[in-house]
Each structure stands twice: as C-alpha cells, then as structure tokens.
Amino acid sequence: MIALPLHVMPLIYAAVFLAAVMALWLLYDRRRERRRREMWQGLSQCRLCAEWLRHGVDTKLFRCPSCGALNEKNHYNDI
Ligand SMILES: [Zn+2]
C-alpha cells in the first residue's frame, strides 16, 4: 500500500478529475470537428449567381441548377 500524506490526496483527486475532463473535452471536440467537416464537404458556391449547392466529393465540374453555369471545384468556391 502506498502511504501518502493527507494533504496530497485532494491534489491527486483533482488531477485525476481534471485529466478525465480534459480527455472528454478533447474527444468531443475531435468528434464535433469531424462532423462539421463532413457536413460542409461537397458544398460550394456558384461563381456566377453565388448560390450554395451541393455536389459530389470527387466531382471536378458541376452545373448550377439555378443559373446553369458550369463551376469547377477548387479552393476558392469550396469551404
Ligand atoms: Zn449559379
């Protein structure tokens, strides 16, 4: 058995509690960020009429349904 002074035990309890809270915080933050990235994936803005449209992830060119303009998937109109 490990003999600890009495004043050290609350510190160990607080350290373990804070470590658990930090681990849960990091876990939920990673999950929330992954879900946000999945939600915004494939969403682009038409370069002609600025309408938001959803397209396939591996689609290079896509046509805007409202104005008919052909848009290219790139970093500028993708989120
Ligand atoms: Zn358009």
* pLDDT score of 77 more than 80: no
The structural domains of the chain, with segments of one domain joined by +, span 9-72
> Ligand 1 is a single-atom ion; what residues have CB below 5 A from it?
46, 48-49, 51, 64, 67, 69
pLDDT of residue 19: 98
Centroid of ligand 1 to alpha carbon of 42 (angstroms): 16
Q: Rounded CA gap, 13 and 29, in Å? A: 24
Residues 14-47 have pLDDT tens digits of: 999 999 999 999 999 999 999 988 888 888 889 8
Query: pTM of the prediction?
Result: 0.58
Give the burial class of 44: count Cβ atoms within 10 A of its Cβ; 0-12 exposed, 13-18 middle, 19 or more buried.
Answer: buried
